[in-house]
Amino acid sequence: MSEAAATPPAPLDFIREMIAADLAAGRNGGQVVTRFPPEPNGYLHIGHAKSICLNFGLAQEHAPNARCHLRFDDTNPTKEEVEYVDSIMADVKWLGFDWGTHLFYASDYFEKLYQFAEQLITKGLAYVDDQTQEEMRLNRGTLTTPGKRSVYADRSVAENLDLFRRMRKGEFKEGEKVLRAKIDMASENMHLRDPALYRILHAHHHRTGNAWCIYPMYDYAHPLSDALESITHSLCTLEFEIHRPLYEWLISNVDGLPGSPYQREFARLNLTYTVMSKRKLLRLVKEDLVNGWDDPRMPTISGLRRRGITAAAIRSFCKTIGLTKFNSLTEIALLEHAIREDLNKISHRAYGVLRPIKVVLTNYLEDQVEHFEAANHPEDPTAGSRQVPLCRELYIESDDFMEFPSDGFHRLKPGGEVRLKFAFCIICQEVIKDDAGNIVELRCTYDDTTRHGKKPEGRTKPKGIIHWVSARHAIDAPVRLYDRLFTVETPDADAGEDGDFTQFLNVASLEIIPNAKLEPSLKDAAPGTHWQFERVAYFYADPIDSKPDAPVFNRTVTLKDGWVKK
């Protein structure tokens, strides 16, 4: 029996169900065409990853009769920059998706969009309005009262055409005139109260330069761009739900469109202990509250990547969270699970001691050095092994020793015994302190009969197994310990309307250990490689700050810690 027959098909989310129904009904000639349409005004974050996995995922699932376009929604030149275009393309690729030849820009359609606007004017469905922004706002009415149509709404087609052409020519100042759709000033949907289609912006555009001084609004450009690309399913987040009637109005009132897409909305991703809006992320960067867009604490794709989170983990996470219209708040633990699951498979193990205590093996020869074989991966023999040196003086993790152990602590304690993993067992004979009472050294004896996992003769085998690093051979390396950026689950909500979310910034979100003691093999850790420091956490050799023979490590995520102090 084939595997496909044995496993029940994964349940479809409401979007995939809709698409399946379209396909079953023979719509769109059996094609599925989606698009990921970011505005290049910031860096992509994990919320975008959800949309990317959906749109590009759909294209993969329905291959070969499907594709996903990458389209830059660059209709507001005052906010957009090439830097963002470049980073977005890099991030989508890194996530493992490929738009092939289907790279587009809304700005590529400016001429066509302009012609469609003239068409709407000719049909009497659009007019040039001279009202000020303030007048327009006043005449729009409120949520409970209808609006009043502009006194300019009755201009003739010829006059509108003339005015619109002169808008394009640059005869007017910004704000002087605007092109509006003529729909319904009394609509319960504010977006249908004669929405603006074009505004005057004497601004330089990152792609069209100074060719244009009128720019289409999102609500106008988006549906028509979708149609021009023969998009079949235009998927966006819930806040655009209210825009849908306008989307449909444009699609049905403009003639000569090659496609007739429809829009559906899903809930955006919210994650605990972070913020997701571009505006807030921009603020963190601009005010130097983090170290740039790719700060490993940021929820940006570039930040996650630099933290050491893999594309596979992000894709798996996006699969787990599903797709609904429910405005949810996902626990960061779900992401961490996906990260650990992937990193556990791919990371080689090594020893790193973050907060060292010196251990002296009093019965070990002063000059002696020996090497112990250590497996690179406990569940993957093909990962091979390495030789880890050991000498009389070692470092162990300060957490692994307790002078006055609490119940259930089975690491090293005075008079107690632990195993040095892959080496032998040691017993703590003496605790040396300085004048201030700080522990400076542990004097231990080792048991030569306990090599290679053998249990001590005539005794029960110690429960504690700890990692260690030879003092003489250890390398020093900077290690950055990252933690959640905020101290509360919902910094935006807790700050409230007028509050400042930055008050909840976690001051301990970054701790730098300048000189962690690492096993010597880690000296060769290539930038951009993933490691598990056994019993500590997953780390990533920073691809930017690491130098040859001088790696710098970022903590990606800690290991789960099943030991609860009693």
Catalytic residue numbers, as ranges:
39, 268, 278
Query: Could you tell me the smallest distance in angstroms from the CB atom of residue 106 to RNA?
Result: 7
CB nearer to RNA: give 315 or 411. 411
Query: Could you tell me the smallest distance in angstroms from the CB atom of residue 153 to RNA?
Result: 14
| Rounded Cα–Cα distance for residues 289 and 296 (Å) | 13
Q: Which two tokens stand for residue 111?
A: 């001429």
- Give the C-alpha distances (Å, rounded to integers) separating 283 from 279, 293, 502: 6, 10, 9
CB nearer to RNA: give 2 or 144. 144
CB nearer to RNA: give 309 or 510. 309
Q: Which two tokens stand for residue 434?
A: 């300085």
CB nearer to RNA: give 327 or 549. 327
Query: Could you tell me the smallest distance in angstroms from the CB atom of residue 340 to RNA?
Result: 6
Contact 16, 322 (CB under 8 A): no
| Rounded Cα–Cα distance for residues 315 and 322 (Å) | 11
Query: Could you tell me the smallest distance in angstroms from the CB atom of residue 321 to RNA?
Result: 4
List residues bridging with 236 in a β-sheet.
Answer: 265
| Rounded Cα–Cα distance for residues 216 and 194 (Å) | 15
Element (H, E) at 104: strand 103-105
CB nearer to RNA: give 132 or 362. 132
Q: Which two tokens stand for residue 156?
A: 């003739």
Chain center to CA of 485? 14
Contact 471, 391 (CB under 8 A): yes
Query: Could you tell me the smallest distance in angstroms from the CB atom of residue 291 to RNA?
Result: 26
Question: In sequence order, what DSSP letters do the residues of 527-554 get, joined into one string?
Answer: TT-EEEETTTEEEEE-TTT-BTTB--EE
| Rounded Cα–Cα distance for residues 227 and 438 (Å) | 72
Q: What angle do CA 420, 424, 425 make, to 5 degrees?
A: 75
Sequence-ordered strand ranges (E) for 452-493: 465-466, 469-470, 475-482
Query: Could you tell me the smallest distance in angstroms from the CB atom of residue 413 to RNA?
Result: 10
Query: Could you tell me the smallest distance in angstroms from the CB atom of residue 564 to RNA?
Result: 5
CB nearer to RNA: give 158 or 493. 493
Q: What angle do CA 264, 265, 268 make, to 5 degrees?
A: 155
Burial 211-243, CB ≥16 within 10 A → b, else e:
ebbbbbbbbbbbbbbbbbbbbbbbbbeeebeeb
CB nearer to RNA: give 257 or 537. 537
Contact 307, 332 (CB under 8 A): no
DSSP assignment letter at 8:
P
The amino acid that residue 335 corresponds to is: L
Contact 73, 25 (CB under 8 A): no
